[in-house]
Amino acid sequence: MPYRCTALSIATLLTLACLPACQTTPTAKPKTVQPTVNREVPAPLRGIVGSATTITGVEPVLVSGYGLVVGLNGTGGGALPDRIRSSMERTMGLQGIGRAERNDDFATSGLSPAQLLRDKNVAVVLVQAAIPPGLPAGATFDVAVTALNASSLDGGRLWTTDLQIGDPALVGGVQTRKLASASGPIFINPFNEPGKERTGITRFVGRILDGGVVREPFALELRLDNPSHSMARQIAAALNERFPPGPGDKTDIARGRNDSIVAVTVPNEYRKKPGDFLELMLSVPIDAYTPSEELAKRTIDDIKAQPALAPRLALCLEGIGRPDRTLPIIRSLYDFSELAPRLAGLQAGARLGDVLAAPHLRELAKSGAPGERTTAIELLADLGAGPTVDQALKELLTEKDLAIRAAAYEALMSRAVKVQANRIGQAQSFGTDANGRRLSLAEIQMRAEANVPPGLLQGVQRRAIGGKFLLDLVPFGDPMIYITQQGQPRVVLFGENLEIPRPFLVAAWSGRLLIASDASGDPIRIRYQPPESASGPNAGPTSPRTITVNGGLPALIDALARNPSPEESRPALGLTYSEVVGVLYEIHQQRALACAFVTERERLQAQIYAAARSVERRDRPETLKQKSEVVVIEQPLAPIGSPEARPTDVPPTQVPIPMGDGNTTRDTARPGTRPE
């Protein structure tokens, strides 16, 4: 942001230097003069924290490391650069890898680090992530993995890997601060055949959804434009009053270090949305003497006079806090004639917890413009106005606009998880868990997400599938499949009827996967051929597996993902989350089920690239919040049964599907068609 510096001029300094040499008084020692920074800030935005400080640490932090992926299908074990190979061998030796009997269900007994690196089911990967600014300890984030000696990461799982600031370091090299660690199953682009590549899509690059964990938070600092102990104290006091310690907060969020720096910690209340906190923190008024009511009235007058500044001034209203005093004044904007001031008032009111904003937001969510509807839904998600808000969001689950349906689902689920997390947290305050210890906030959040009581979900049902992802059933509106590609892996099925119309046949992955059923009421038959390249002590059977599933699409998803077990009588194939998503994509593309297919837009690689390229820091985080975007994948427009309606790599017309004991076959129609 532009500024002007005022200091002693060169001419003045020359004049002082030319004073008569015969002067008898001692010559004064030169003093360092700190230039004064004058920001060009619009008048309505003066007096807030962001007008007098610059926040550091606001850019996403690039972290990386070299890790080990196990459980591949014989696609790893390739040659490595000597420096990386020797560094990995030394690191593995120090960690005791190769001496343990088993590690993450992958046998290592008797294998030296060098032998393990040559195993065809093992790969060395580059692990990278961009940690959002202010993310507290225990918070999770997505990470990217790139194979260094493997052709595909299908089926792989990353062993726990330390992540340090900047580029990865080899043993003996410069070691920077370790901020996080990463581990978990690898999510490969699900809209491509496993084991094969298409233009622009590779199998040796993947992601681990929610696989990173912050170990040491990166400090955030407010640097005063003009050093002043009294100003630093005022800013720290204003922030601590606006954000008093809550559950999980051990200290005040702001601490003055000296006359130039105020250290800041993101409150646990904002651990899932640190960008919201940073924007709000910079909008807190420094003035501790003007009554809150007067500040609110002045800000509202500015909003009406300068609607272009309404989004920023809405944050200023929220930054004042004191809802008992400010909400009666803010409500005057709820039915204001101009849209921008009205939205500013509703945003501030909703985020300050005003239940009276709910009717206005419900109406805007139903009948506003698309962007306004999405904003209203997001505000309703954070508003605790009880069952009436839940009911309004439930009604939006039947909308024709697919983005609105997805946003309403996300808001409804967010509200339910928040209530469940509060219940678990309150129970923890009276004792310990079954293991005799208190749960961390991160653990409470994870438990809440996986175990939401049906009574909180307005008819939505949630199931945990094989410990790999969550399956949400939304029995409202037209059929739709919604896939998440960020954070907690989820498959969401919309619609009252989740049966795949019989007869149907889906052939995918060059004939390695066949799914069929002949008539209404018949079970679903699945024939799956694991990749032929699978080998080694940890590879699964390479012979085809055939299972039968009774039920509709939810039962099919469960059978695809659940791991086979001797104790489990139900049929299961043990596919990964990305493979299950790939199956659903094929079902959609081959028109076995007429439904919409919606997925999130992938942003991880762009975030990593931006973090790696960033050399400048912004004065304030104007665009920290990442709006969730969805992508609608169209079904083929070609008539069912035409060659254009199916992938070009499907098997021939006659497809044998083993029946019963696996020894009988039958002829079927062309893949991608429905027999008459």
Cβ–Cβ under 8 Å, residues 642 and 91: no
Residue 617 has pLDDT above 90, yes or no: no
Pairing of strands 513-517, 524-528: antiparallel
Residue 622 has pLDDT above 60, yes or no: no
Q: What pLDDT, on the 0 to 100 scale, is given for residue 620?
A: 39
Query: What single-letter DSSP state applies at residue 550?
Result: -
Which of 404, 431, 459 is the endpoint of a domain?
459
For 476-493, write each residue's pLDDT tens digit: 999 999 998 888 899 999
Query: What single-letter DSSP state applies at residue 659?
Result: B
Chain centroid to Cα 225, Å, comes to 34
What is the CB-side half-sphere exposure of residue 60 using CA atoms within 13 A? 25
Q: What pLDDT, on the 0 to 100 scale, is given for residue 291?
A: 94
Residue 644 has pLDDT above 50, yes or no: no
In this structure, the answer to whether residues 549 and 649 fall within a common structural domain is yes
Cβ–Cβ under 8 Å, residues 69 and 153: yes
- Spatial distance between the Cα atoms of 385 and 353, rounded to a whole number of angstroms: 8
Question: Looking at 71-85, 433-447, 552-566, which range is the least confident one?
Answer: 433-447
Q: Which residues of 83-99 are buried (b: 16+ CB within 10 A; e: fewer)?
A: ebbbbbbebbeeeebbe
For 83-121, write each residue's pLDDT tens digit: 999 988 888 887 777 555 444 445 555 678 888 888 898
Question: Looking at 57-66, 142-151, 539-548, 642-651, which range is the least confident one?
Answer: 642-651
Distances (CA, A) of 498 to 453, 551, 561: 22, 9, 18
pLDDT confidence band for 344 (50 / 70 / 90): very high
The arithmetic mean of pLDDT across residues 358-367, rounded, is: 93
Which of 196, 214, 232 is the endpoint of a domain?
214
Number of domains making up the chain? 4
The arithmetic mean of pLDDT across residues 210-219, rounded, is: 86
Percent of residues, the chain, with pLDDT higher than 70: 78
Q: Is residue 530 part of a domain?
A: yes
- Spatial distance between the Cα atoms of 389 and 396, rounded to a whole number of angstroms: 11
Range of the domain at 361: 354-459
pLDDT confidence band for 271 (50 / 70 / 90): confident
In this structure, the answer to whether residues 667 and 607 fall within a common structural domain is yes
Q: What pLDDT, on the 0 to 100 scale, is given for residue 106?
A: 55
In this structure, the answer to whether residues 83 and 128 fall within a common structural domain is yes
Please count the residues of the chain.
Answer: 676
In this structure, the answer to whether residues 514 and 652 fall within a common structural domain is yes
Which of 411, 440, 459 is the endpoint of a domain?
459
In this structure, the answer to whether residues 338 and 386 fall within a common structural domain is no
Q: For the chain, what is the mean pLDDT?
A: 79
Residue 309 has pLDDT above 90, yes or no: yes
Q: What pLDDT, on the 0 to 100 scale, is given for residue 458?
A: 81
- Spatial distance between the Cα atoms of 501 and 571, rounded to a whole number of angstroms: 21
Q: Is residue 38 part of a domain?
A: no
Residue 378 token pair = 């997001």
Q: Is residue 143 part of a domain?
A: yes
Highest mean pLDDT among 87-96, 360-369, 631-640: 360-369
Give the residue with greater pLDDT, 272 vs 256.
256
Q: What pLDDT, on the 0 to 100 scale, is given for residue 554?
A: 93
- Spatial distance between the Cα atoms of 315 and 285, rounded to a whole number of angstroms: 11
In this structure, the answer to whether residues 497 and 646 fall within a common structural domain is yes
- Spatial distance between the Cα atoms of 101 and 109, rounded to a whole number of angstroms: 5
In this structure, the answer to whether residues 123 and 166 fall within a common structural domain is yes
Q: Is residue 272 part of a domain?
A: no
In this structure, the answer to whether residues 526 and 442 fall within a common structural domain is no
In this structure, the answer to whether residues 577 and 614 fall within a common structural domain is yes
Ranges of beta strands (E only) in 325-423 are none
- Spatial distance between the Cα atoms of 22 and 13, rounded to a whole number of angstroms: 19
pLDDT confidence band for 154 (50 / 70 / 90): confident
Cβ–Cβ under 8 Å, residues 515 and 496: no
